Structure 1
């Protein structure tokens, strides 16, 4: 049994992570602002901290010691530095929930040109130890942080790697798809449009991308927190998918044929599929498999998820 601290944990796959840790018999402390309800009852400890307020995290965890800290809310080097300062050596390891967006060559802002990336990138193609970070940038400004999400995650990885006094895992998570509590609404986007007979726009000759089922993302984070693995790890289903694969799953669930329109000028179109890419953009999953964690193939879970989402959207 381990003492695990989850920063965040009240929405999307963070809730599944907490539930997975509890089911496995671990003691869980959740750190968040305390504004979102949860269903954990007395099974978790709760500490309150608003990460946008300097010093609140450090005050909340003062004197606490954990076997691992899973940071679901680290979007910038500022947040990473504050976490390191708050926990010091009192965290057995850090698990940072990062993103596939760290590999997106179009989002590199302060390293021009971007380093070369494979269409399905491997972890070694982006070394956080060799990447610079800048805490003086206005990371707390949503108008800055939002458009620079990928850069924020890269710099968070770099800061944590450079400063942490304990082992670090960087979980580079693919597009997460969930049947419930998916605030991104990426999958519901397709269900809604097909049901309404509205077109779905795609890039001309759309590429494939990496997806991961929410339970698998949560399972990996729990695995990372409770084993001795370290370093960057891509978290994704081993098979990629494109917008047509997503639409085929929706068609099987609704019995309605999606209308997909490919456009050369697709960016900015309000009907552009969130899963459409102008070229292949995803991640290789060899390292995760070698470490002992395999996510289920998209072909196994996407059709069933489509039926669940369709049923929920119809109610």
Structure 2
């Protein structure tokens, strides 16, 4: 298939593109041309300003794709600029756990219905991140009801290629004895690996199923469990303090995403604890080297 990827030069987008290439698809990536990539001549490349309606219309005039995988639709106008400019049979949009107003254990897709929220056209800076992502879903399913499309809601995505370094923050602070403030140390949190997130996106590009779907590793883990593991591996002790550096996952409640729908569609996620400790071990090694 001819597949266009909006974004795709970092993080789980790279895993998605590599998986699409491995499966034999013809992939085009469209970016601002600012980030380097390792694809070489294995993909076609287009330069576009994603947030400009004029740029999107000009670059994609007379172009048609079987599938568009949109990793960077952050707001309703982003969706509009894409679907008003690009002809495609299927649209795969990366969404987020942040669309849920009330996260809890076994959060279901039905806990947020984008058809029930009033649609507002907005740019990325008009509202908070969670609100603009909700409105992006509203735009997709309300303004383009006949479009074959799916929106994937991911929890915290982690991996050695995680440029946000959010999980690494906790490991580094334990290893180096840096004080940190954590307001949810015992909350059970959901995660997905960047590799599996990319695989799931590539999988959905080939399917016909539509609507919204959760994508998350099976099971949860608390920050206390992570910290205790790091302490046991290193012999060092975490310094928890109200005046320490604020933990990047502060404010997150006990939550997990129910992934029964993904399983029904044919994709089974790995158990979280089958791979997260290996990732933590790598972060420990990285932090120890920097002491």
CA drift of 1:252 comes to 5.2
CA drift of 1:192 comes to 1.7
Q: Deviations over 1:193-250 (max 9, x none)?
A: 1121123322266321210011110011001111112111111111012211332443
Correspondences of 1:250-261 after superposition (within 5 Å): 250-251=230-231, 253-260=233-240
Is the CA contact (8 Å cut-off) linking 1:206 and 1:278 kept in structure 2? no
The 1:205–1:35 alpha-carbon spacing in structure 2 relative to 1, beyond 3 Å, is closer
Normalised by the length of structure 2, the TM-score is 0.91
Pick the aligned partner of 1:103 from 100, 111, 127.
Answer: 100
Please give the alpha-carbon distance, in whole angstroms, between the structure 1 residues aligned to 2:193 and 2:201: 13
Describe the SS at the equivalent of 2:268.
Answer: coil
Aligned to 1:124: 110
CA drift of 1:260 comes to 4.1
| Aligned residue pair count | 288
Describe the SS at the equivalent of 1:245.
Answer: helix
Correspondences of 1:1-315 after superposition (within 5 Å): 2-87=1-86, 90-105=87-102, 118-135=104-121, 137=122, 139-141=123-125, 144-145=126-127, 148-164=128-144, 165-180=146-161, 182-203=162-183, 206-251=186-231, 253-260=233-240, 271-277=245-251, 279-313=253-287, 314=289
Please give the alpha-carbon distance, in whole angstroms, between the structure 2 residues aligned to 1:185 and 1:246: 15
CA drift of 1:20 comes to 1.1
CA RMSD of aligned residues (A): 2.0
CA drift of 1:258 comes to 2.8
Is the CA contact (8 Å cut-off) linking 1:209 and 1:275 kept in structure 2? no
Normalised by the length of structure 1, the TM-score is 0.85
Is the CA contact (8 Å cut-off) linking 1:209 and 1:277 kept in structure 2? no
Is the CA contact (8 Å cut-off) linking 1:190 and 1:250 kept in structure 2? no
Describe the SS at the equivalent of 2:168.
Answer: helix
Q: Deviations over 1:4-58 (max 9, x none)?
A: 1110001111111111111121111001100100000000001111112222112
Is the CA contact (8 Å cut-off) linking 1:47 and 1:61 kept in structure 2? no
Describe the SS at the equivalent of 1:55.
Answer: helix
User: Which structure 1 segments of 5+ residues have no match?
Assistant: 106-116, 264-268
Please give the alpha-carbon distance, in whole angstroms, between the structure 2 residues aligned to 1:273 and 1:301: 22
Please give the alpha-carbon distance, in whole angstroms, between the structure 1 residues aligned to 2:281 and 2:218: 22
The 1:11–1:254 alpha-carbon spacing in structure 2 relative to 1, beyond 3 Å, is farther
- The range that moved more, 55-64 or 217-226, is 55-64
The 1:256–1:130 alpha-carbon spacing in structure 2 relative to 1, beyond 3 Å, is same
Is the CA contact (8 Å cut-off) linking 1:5 and 1:69 kept in structure 2? yes
